[in-house]
Structure 1
């Protein structure tokens, strides 16, 4: 298995509260990892550390074999832009802009310009199935359509790993099935990996290739799915 990212004994606290306690995890190519846990368990903290948006108090984060937090800030940013994409829990699309403009902005931030940006937008829109929505304003989209746009925006830089914080939170059951089928399609077609968090613990509407539960600061693999 080609390793994209590895956490090695990561710890993170907020004040006296230990949120992550020596968490280790390896993520390879073309796999979907699901992290389950109640609200407040630390899932967002874990995902932000994986996306290099938050520095752990202790432990190492290796991206493509490199200790990310030993890099200078600009170099770490380049590594993140090249290999990682983070989709936050709250869909932070710009409502007064079109779908195309939202995706273009994400590509521009990641260094795409001109024809390369235009081609990337067209490619991900077709991949996700939202080409017909490109000229519509985000404020006029349904919750499920907005989530599809968020996914397209997260894929515009062709990342090796998409880090998605509760991407199904605002989607109905039918939408969850469509979105997860799309994630599986992208995984198989592009060899992209996903790590997804969810509050679903006992009643599951989807399953990953590997599943973990985060509780009391510990990340434990679920062996029997």
Structure 2
């Protein structure tokens, strides 16, 4: 489904990725682990089209992603890719439901459809009773579930998560980890997760270890 070949990336004289090859299958959960500075987040951002490699190729379902530019790339990312970040990145002035709906509004999906789908996702994620609350009134675990729902609102093929449980306590982290597998079963998305959490890493279908800009 997603295929990266020969990915190189440098920032100035610092070589961060040194020829990475990786394939992600449909509905597969893959964890990416390694010490700080190994290149995990850089690889995740390139796989998710948030950054571009210096060399290499990136394809999803046969489409050459690095040939897409501007609005075409933004539209593809919005429709086919979801993101979950460590710090949630929720907009404080909007309710939980409004935050969830934002990628769908960008896609120009009707608000009525988005309200229905955001409600269904919130029910699945156990936050349906918090939809009208602003992020500041939500717990860390609730905020992260809102971020997960937002990542799923456009039914992407793959969701990229960068340290998704990094700011959660043990109980909420465990719940989030189990949630990914429930979502895969219910909705069929692939998940690619950068994590330092060994429990989450070993739960994945496949664990990819990085060191010094390469996959071991």
The answer for the alignment partner of 1:146 in structure 2 is 143
Deviation at 1:40, TM superposition (A): 2.6
Specify the SS of the correspondent of 1:56.
Answer: coil
> Aligned ranges for residues 14-163 of structure 1 at < 5 Å?
14-163=11-160
Which of 185, 208, 215 pairs up with 2:211? 215
Deviation at 1:120, TM superposition (A): 2.0
After superposition, give the CA deviation of every residue in 1:103-143 in whole Å (9 maximum; x if it has no partner).
12232123322222222211211221211110111101111
RMSD of the alignment, in Å? 1.4
Check the 8 A contact 2:78/2:103 in 1, yes or no: no
The answer for the alignment partner of 1:187 in structure 2 is 184
Specify the SS of the correspondent of 1:20.
Answer: strand
Give distance in 1, aligned partners of 2:107 and 2:194. Answer: 24
User: TM-score scaled to structure 2, two decimals?
Assistant: 0.94
Structure 2 runs not aligned, ≥5 long: none
Which of 190, 194, 199 pairs up with 1:205? 199
Write out the 4+ residue segments of structure 1 that deviate beyond 6 Å after TM superposition.
Answer: none
User: TM-score scaled to structure 1, two decimals?
Assistant: 0.90
Specify the SS of the correspondent of 2:145.
Answer: helix
Structure 1 runs not aligned, ≥5 long: 221-225
Check the 8 A contact 1:8/1:22 in 2, yes or no: yes
Higher share of residues assigned helix: 2
Deviation at 1:172, TM superposition (A): 1.3
